[in-house]
Amino acid sequence: MENLLRQILKRTTARTVFRTTLNGLGLFCACTFIWEHLVTVQLSEGPSMYPTFNPRGDYLLISRVHRCGRGIAVGDVVRFYHPTFLGVHGAKRVIGMPGDFVCRDLAFSVD
């Protein structure tokens, strides 16, 4: 292993180091772009979406393409910043869109 490392270091030129650094920087930029603008992975915790998500935590693949409500349909699960607790995310299922009439039963209703 040590001999292999010495051979690699002997053959390394400034051009090779520059090319490797440039490729690494390009890969880092591509991964950052994908993570910030296309998809990300977040941990879901809490009983809010039980039984769809485990209260102890499930990893969610979050699409960042549908921002500001664009492209969302009934039945989708949306992830949002919680308005009361700063830095906390919430997740809810969409049950209606603007203009829809939504009827729901009250808790402990027998009708």
Read off the pLDDT of residues 69-110 as tens digits, 9 standing for 90 and up: 788 888 888 888 888 888 888 888 888 888 888 887 776 666
Q: Other C-beta atoms within 10 Å of 10: how many?
A: 7
Note the pLDDT tens digit of each residue in 7-21.
877 888 888 889 999
- Residue 109 is a catalytic residue: no
CA–CA gap between residue 1 and residue 27 (Å, rounded): 27
Give the model's confidence band at 50: pLDDT under 50 very low, under 70 low, under 90 confident, else very high: confident
Strand pairing category for 58-63 and 89-93: unpaired
Residue 24's pLDDT is: 96
- Residue 63 is a catalytic residue: no
Residue 60's pLDDT is: 87
Residue 19's pLDDT is: 92
Q: Which helix (H) or strand (E) holds 77?
A: strand 77-81
**Given 44, 48, 63, 109, which residue is catalytic?**
48
Q: Report yes or no: 72 and 63 within 8 Å, Cβ to Cβ.
A: no
| Residue 49 structure tokens | 């979406």
